[in-house]
Structure 1
Amino acid sequence: MSQSSARLRRGAAIAALTGTLVVPTAAGGARAAPVAVPAAVGADSPSPSPSEPAVRSLTPQVARQLDAAVQKVMREANVPGVTVGIWTPGQPSYVRSFGVADKSTGQKMAPDMYVRIGSETKTFTVTGLLQLVDQKKVALDDPIGMYIDGVPNGDRITLRQLAGMRSGLFNYSEDPGFFKALTSDPQRPFTPQQLLAYSFKHPVMFQPGQKFYYSNTNLILLGLVVEKESGQRLGDYIKQHVLDPAGMRHTLFPTGNEFPAPHAQGYTEQTANGKEADAADWNPSWGWAAGAVISTLEDLHTWAPTVAMGRFPDGTRMVAAATQRQRLTTPQTGSIKGAGYGLGIFDVQGWIGHNGSLPGYESLAVYLPSTRTTLVALLNTDTAYRSQEPSTVLGEAITKVISPAHVYNLPRTRTG
């Protein structure tokens, strides 16, 4: 099996800390209890010197440095197209697209294009769950078995452990049968129950809470909880209670393989034969609550601070302050100090948010509260570069330029 095929089996819709904060999953002993790091504080992030601001002003000189850094990553990692946005209040913004959105026509990448955002979806699903917590319809320490039957260890795994990737449930997208089903017919629809079946035929990886293991299965279960306790389809709930209040008119939870125009084509080697294919019309239902959402640069510019701070743009609470504090408690999950994962969100050296990857596309949307800086990067490939997500390589290159005291530094090991 090709390297790319094996990666899809390990969990292609994932890349939120996939190959980033994820420790080796199928082997290795139990890890010591992690130390909680409040995400909004970034306690383990290095402090800038008095002569160096936390985020550099986006002067024309800095913008040229950014251009060069992005183009270098594109050349080295063979990325067809990239869009990057950086915003800090009171400073010039940086919004630029590079390369092509469509290799066959040469159409240029553009800031207004829709893209599939993969595991960024998890931030929306967990937001829905936390809103139900605030409404006292569910509690984070409820076992999943209270809501969904047939879950291995369902009487012991809590909703909190699912959202924090500490359930021990096998990741369905690592199952060989799933990989064969998806790549043999990428446009086929999958139901949540079918996805769970691929997971539940495997034994649990470890006992609940024992360690961190990034699993899409967790989010499928949480999506079902949101549907059951809200009485709405997940996409409808997210639109009504998250997207509309945030003013995000160009973000959608697709029901099939629909893809609004204009959109970038997406290039992947996660295919049955390992050869590159355009995945734009693949059906993302196999990612569902873990990875199906479509969005744009401007909407993610809105979303990154909204999810990091728990407030809608008009200042009203999206999630209660006490609940948001729980969300932003990010236990360290790997060897990188200052990098941890909370409830459907990560903190990497003070940058709070999520990344995403599924065949053909990668995304990164993060927020640095200390300077109120938002960084969004969108790519139309998910093909690895030196065993690392291209969005991670790009995020590191960008933050080395704009925030050298807060570099988005993730391990150069790809497990997802």
Structure 2
Amino acid sequence: MWFWIAGMAAFLIVFLLTKGVASRRGAFPKVRTERLTGSGAVLILGLALAACTGSGQGADPSGTISSATAPSLSPAESSTGLPWPAAPTSALLPERATTMLAEMQRWVDKEFMPGATAAVVSPDGVWTAAVGVDGQGARLQSASGMSLGQVTQTFVASQALLLAEQGKLDLDAPASRYVPVPQLANGATTRQLLGHRAGIPDPGQEPYATVFTAPEAHWSTEQFLAPVPKATASPGEKFYEDTTNYVLAGLVVEKASGRSIATAIDADLWTPLGLERLAYQDEQALPEPIAAPGQDEGLPQGQTGRPYLPFRSIASAIAASHGAAGDAASVARWGYALYGGQVLTPDSVAQLTDFDQDVGPGYGLATIDFTQPYWFKWHIEGHGMRGSLVGYRSVLAVYPEHHLSVAILTPSAVDVLPYVRYIVNAGRLLE
């Protein structure tokens, strides 16, 4: 009950603030960035995943917010009918593509955001487009690469589940079996790491300040973990979105697979799907075209996103949590393949989308239930992940009943989650 009340209170505050700012500016208000409260949170400058963490706010391009809700799908319901048919290669009908591109252009013309790329994979065809400019004023291309933020976690969680399918990783055994470090001394499991329920202690922001003052430096995992205290809190009792969960999960994946996580993900996930426009930074770098990061709090001057997005220190420090980069088409294709059962077994997909948990705000394993009351004001009848890293925002949204995957990326600090339904509606993708 307390969580429902907190969510509704947050909703009312966002609604009133959005209406007030919109009326004063006469235009869609820019989304305010907030610092997360987890370990290494200063690195993210993103939006947390739940009302109980005091963020997760977004703005609606129509100037209104609906309180409509939809029933959440159970894991069994969301994983039935898998696998989906192979993703089509044909293009969407021109009339649909035209209306979706016009909708995206409206975002730029109304100064909602400086630019964006988007992609759709649906039974009726595929589509991708770009509008506007990046952080340096260069015109975006549909293949422009950007930081994917927390979308990275879908790759790490999938690799862990794949290792579990192969009998190489026990998700419910203490993660310290694989990585004996003090931060796992409380017996947290890999599953709890993937679900942000591991009880990881928070060292505060100060130890990570040089990430922004020395942006060209490489950070090792050991450097990132050094300030994190020994875990003493009982795991599984509290949801707390924390970068350290996935930094540790990345180490577990490496130990269980016997390979670097970049090599494992590339070989096991990306290459079989033909996803060539994805990179795990800073072990890998995404080739051109690249979208330079947009204006954002904490962005060091002169950053172009080359060779690492948004810059090397932050990409390497939190690689397993936020380090991936890619383009919109690759993200949309990944979402279709992952939640469509073409990467993992139906049982593993059900674990990703297991939202019926006592602890957590509609969050499974690297997957948000967008039909939960707090999120459904954006009218996304499915699940996925939103991403945030300095200078970039992203969203992957999958509508399981329609076999539809949508990705939107922007080189700016504007939350793109509210824009998914406008792409969907403009293309009549649910008809």
What TM bracket, shorter-length normalisation? 0.7 to 0.9
Report how far residue 121 of structure 1 moved.
1.0
- 8 Å CA contact retained: 1:86, 1:94: yes
Task: Compute the displacement of 1:320 (Å).
Answer: 2.6
Determine the C-alpha separation between the residues in 2 that align with 1:391 and 1:127. Answer: 24
CA contact (8 A) 1:177 1:198 kept: yes
**Is 2:175 aligned against 1:175?**
no
Mark the CA change 1:6 to 1:163 in structure 2 (over 3 Å): closer, same or farther: closer
Q: CA deviation at 1:270?
A: 2.9
Count of residue pairs brought into register by the alignment: 356
Which residue in 1 is equivalent to 2:129?
A: 96
Q: 1:87 aligns with which of 117, 121, 146?
A: 121
Q: Is the 8 A contact 1:21 1:334 kept in 2?
A: no
* SS of alignment partner, residue 363 of structure 1: strand
Q: Report Cα offsets for 1:106-150 as digits up to 9, x if no partner.
A: 431110222221211111111111111111122111111212223
TM-score of the aligned structures, taking structure 2 as reference length: 0.72
Match of 1:191 in 2: 220
Give me the whole-angstrom Cα distance separating, in 2, the residues matched to 1:195 and 1:219: 12
CA drift of 1:344 comes to 1.6
Alpha-carbon distance, 1:182 to partner? 0.8
Q: Which residue of 2 aligns with 1:304?
A: 335
Offset at residue 330 of structure 1 (A): 1.6
Aligned CA distance change for structure 1 residues 38 and 200 (closer, same or farther; 3 Å): farther
Question: What secondary structure does 1:302 align onto?
Answer: helix
Q: Is 1:236 matched up with 2:271? A: no
Q: State the alpha-carbon separation in 2 of the partners of residues 233 and 358 from structure 1.
A: 23
TM-score, normalised by the number of residues in structure 1: 0.74
Alignment gaps of 5+ in structure 1: 27-34, 44-56, 312-317, 385-389, 407-416
Aligned counterpart for 1:108 among listed residues 126, 139, 142: 139
Q: Which has the higher helix share?
A: 2
Contact 2:149/2:387 (<8 A) preserved: yes
Asked if 1:129 corresponds to 2:129, the answer is: no
Higher relative contact order (CA 8 A, sep 6+): 1
- The CA deviation at 1:88 is 2.3
Q: Which runs of 5+ in 2 are unaligned?
A: 1-31, 56-70, 80-91, 372-380
* Displacement of 1:11: 5.0
- Return the match for 2:305 from 280, 284, 288: 280
Give the drift of 1:353: 2.0
What does 1:61-80 align with in structure 2 at a 5 Å threshold? 63-64=98-99, 67-68=102-103, 71-72=106-107, 75-77=110-112, 79-80=113-114
Is residue 38 from structure 1 mapped to residue 74 from structure 2 by the alignment? yes
Task: Give the CA deviation at 1:401.
Answer: 5.3
Preserved contact between residue 83 and residue 379 of structure 1 (Cα < 8 Å): yes
Residues 227, 234 of structure 1: 8 Å contact kept: yes
| Percent identity (aligned) | 22
- Distance change (3 Å), C-alpha of 1:197 and 1:397: farther
Aligned to 1:264: 291
| Separation of aligned partners in 2, 1:267 and 1:150 | 37
Contact persistence 1:308–1:367 (CA under 8 A): yes
Q: How does 1:359-370 map to 2 (within 5 A)?
A: 359-370=390-401
Asked if the contact 2:332–2:396 (Cα under 8 Å) also holds between the matched residues in 1, the reply is yes
Amino acid at match of 2:419: L
What's the CA shift for 1:14?
7.8
2:13 match: none
| 1:24 and 2:53 matched | yes
Which residue of 241, 249, 254 maps to 1:227? 254
**RMSD over aligned Cα atoms:** 3.5
- In the superposition, relative to structure 1, how do residues 264 and 152 fare at CA in structure 2: closer, same or farther (>3 Å)? closer
Which amino acid counterpart does residue 353 of structure 1 have in structure 2?
Answer: G
* Amino acid in structure 1 at the alignment position of 2:365: L
CA shift, 1:300, in A, is: 1.6
Per the TM alignment, residue 189 of structure 1 is displaced from its structure 2 partner at its CA by 1.0
Shift of 1:334: 9.6
Q: Give how far 1:74 is off.
A: 7.2
> Structure 2 CA distance, aligned partners of 1:37 and 1:64?
30
- C-alpha displacement at 1:21, in angstroms? 2.8
2:186, 2:330 → 1: CA distance? 38
**Does the 8 Å contact 1:377/1:395 carry over to 2?**
yes
